[in-house]
Chain A
Amino acid sequence: MSTISLKIEFGGGLELLFSNQRSHRITIPANVPPEGSDVPSKPVDITYLLFWLRDNLLKERAELFVENGTVRPGVLVLVNDTDWELEGEGEYQLKDGDEIVFISTLHGG
């Protein structure tokens, strides 16, 4: 099974949910099964990554990270230093070496 490596960073207090570690390097499958299938035929996207992070790296209070199948309102996502809204949000297909940053804007104000 082919895999891709990603650099994940957390900021604005979100790192507190992930063992207080700001930077992580992870390896995930390059293809995942689409909904209702067992065959890994769909390229991995950010939505898959969100749930992967919740299930594998998150240590506490998942509701502060994921809500209704996407990031919680108030969490900003950058894909290679670019707002994920320019990249298709959760549908962005991840590539090997991508750098994904999650920043909470809710760390006070």
Chain B
Amino acid sequence: MQRRKKYDKTKICVRCKDAQGNIVIRHTVYCKNCFTPLLIHKFRRVLEPTVNPKPDGPRRTALKPAGNLVIGFSGGLGSSVLLDLVHRCYVALDKSTMPTEGGRDHPRHERVWKKVTVCYVEVCDAFPGMDDRTDEIARFVSRYDELDFVPLRIQHAFDRTWWERIGRSTSFSDIGVDLADESLLIEPLSQTHPDPLTALRTYLSSLPTPTAIHSSIQALTRVLLLHTALQTGSSHLVLGTSLTSLAVSLISGVAQGAGFNVREESMEEWTPDPETRPAPDTVPDDGTEGARKSKEARRTVRIVRPLRDIGMKECATWAWWSHIPVVGKEKWVWPGAKPGIGTLTKDFILGLEQDYPSTVSTVVRTCGKLAPKGEVAGKCILCGRPAQRGVQEWKARISIRSQPPPPPSDSDSTDAPATPAPVVPESKANTRPSLTPYLCYPCHTTLTSRSARPVPSPWPDTAHSSVAPLPVWTEARLGTHANVGVSVADEEEIAVAKKMDQEEMKGIVNEFLCIIRS
């Protein structure tokens, strides 16, 4: 059987209808000359409607953001292409990238963001044997002029000095969470102000699965970038998530219970917690009237993924034709670890993209139509994303948290029914303060969903402590609430965990099934 062609009809570019094509993008052929404006158009089309605090509607006006811009840079392909595009379009003001409408002196052709900062979070200390690429990244960023570079390390998430440096108060006590107990009880740390690196490794070693380690590092990186955006007076944080990476994060997010946050994967707005917000004086002000007026508005950071319509193949082609020396990222692996949900999803999506290129775009477009059911009840204390109201009650209703009794062996002569063994150690006390009511569903699942098999830790030699430290922003927010038994996410409600016996739970599940059937 003849193999199906990967392109429609002819090899001539569909845009200029003249030149021989050079690249096939989801069955459509483009030449090299038309590829550049096409990519810039797709990039601007996503980013520009999000620049002004309020959307313009059909009338296009000048782009006036409420603050500066931070580029979240990982060294990977997507963020390298993003950095190049942002620099060409908004810093170097390359004429070839300008929209043609409005004439040469149209305000749309002026510089948009006063200051552009590139923030890189080095994760090498989270995994054994990983190289530190900070210097290489700094050299890459220095290829572009007029950009500020802020290198961070992942352990800054546990570093009080960094928290203080970005203008936050550190007057809170050292508290951690008992990750060995599913109740996630909040406990005081045995050591005051632990070293950030040790704290990071203890936290990662206490997580139950490789997926949890990957997700936690992604969440820590994201929040570090957001606080950097706030510190630099930025209204926008742009990330180099391509169409392919977005499809991966959407599918793997849903697989990890983040269905409620499916919209935040594409675009989100983040405001710092009132308790941990920096004092107004610490927010940089560049002296302009607009900057002063928008100081309040600037406290919201909009996370935009301008490459979300551009696939990885297009990114790789752009990088090659633009001579961008991509630094690259190392895989997040350690001895004995099995691939997590994210890695498996990535392999699946890449295979899918090769055989059925349009399907990846369909995944993203379909997810774009989803509207999560349920109300928002505040923000998760760990990841800062919206948390759904009543998820713990729902989880308690539908989860069976005990195993059936083991089958009686021949030697077992007694007929007395065995007491079901709990899957996880029973909670020490349901009335003690717990982290659970402060968490969104995916973060709670990340911290509590255990593998049936033992999971090798990236740092087996790290001293194991039953109480794991928490990121500084979580500690700071918990520290402001003297009564931690009250949910911060939903302060008008008091969440109390209630243990129920098997019969009671069966009754509730049956009732739930009856409602579904009717």
Contact = CB atoms under 8 A, between A and B. Distances in A.
Interface stretch (A25-33, A34-42, A45-53, A73-81): A73-81
A83 interface: yes
Contact of B316 (A76, A81, A86, A89): A76
A101 interface: yes
Closest 9 CB pairs of A and B: A108-B76, A108-B329, A107-B328, A85-B6, A105-B312, A73-B350, A73-B354, A105-B316, A13-B328
Interface string A55-95: 00000000000000000011010100111011001000000
A85 B32 contact: no
A103 interface: yes
B242 A109 contact: yes
A109 B320 CA distance: 15
26 contacts: A11-B319, A12-B77, A12-B316, A12-B319, A73-B350, A73-B351, A73-B354, A74-B312, A76-B320, A81-B32, A82-B21, A82-B22, A83-B23, A83-B317, A103-B316, A103-B319, A104-B316, A105-B77, A106-B350, A107-B77, A107-B328, A108-B77, A108-B329, A109-B79, A109-B241, A109-B312
A85 B351 contact: no
Interface string A5-19: 000000111000000
A86 B77 CA distance: 24
Interface in B287-322: 312-313, 315-317, 319-320
Interface string B323-351: 00010110000000000000000010011
Contacts of A74: 312, 350, 354
A89 B354 CA distance: 12
A34 B240 CA distance: 45
A12 B317 CA distance: 10
B11 interface: yes
Contact of B74 (A89, A101, A106, A108): A108
Nearest to A11: B320
Taking residues whose C-beta sits less than 8 angstroms from the other chain, chain B's interface range is 35 or more
A89 to B, nearest CB: 8
Contacts of A86: 6-7, 11, 21-24, 29
A46 B3 CA distance: 16
B65 interface: no
Contacts of A108: 74-79, 326, 328-329
Contact of A78 (B74, B240, B320): B320
Given A76-B317, A83-B21, A107-B328, 16 more contacts: A12-B77, A76-B320, A81-B32, A83-B22, A83-B23, A83-B24, A85-B24, A86-B24, A86-B29, A89-B6, A105-B316, A108-B77, A108-B79, A109-B77, A109-B78, A109-B312
B336 to A, nearest CB: 19
B48 interface: no
A12 B353 contact: no
Nearest to A83: B23
A34 B13 CA distance: 34
A12 B326 contact: yes
Nearest to B355: A73
Contacts of B244: 105, 109
Given A86-B7, A86-B21, A108-B76, A73 B353 contact: yes
Contacts of B317: 76, 78, 83, 103
A85 B312 contact: no
B35 to A, nearest CB: 10
Contacts of A78: 317, 320
A74 B24 CA distance: 14
A105 B312 CA distance: 6
B134 to A, nearest CB: 15
Interface string B7-37: 1000100000000111110000100100000
A4 B326 CA distance: 31
Nearest to A101: B320
A7 to B, nearest CB: 14
Nearest to A70: B354
Contacts of A101: 320
B354 A109 contact: no
B324 to A, nearest CB: 10
Contacts of A89: 3, 6
A81 to B, nearest CB: 6
B245 interface: yes
B22 A81 contact: yes
A106 B24 CA distance: 19
A59 to B, nearest CB: 17
A78 B353 CA distance: 17
Contacts of A82: 20-23
A76 B328 CA distance: 16
Contacts of B3: 89
A107 B75 CA distance: 9
A86 B11 CA distance: 7
Contacts of A81: 22, 32
B71 to A, nearest CB: 15
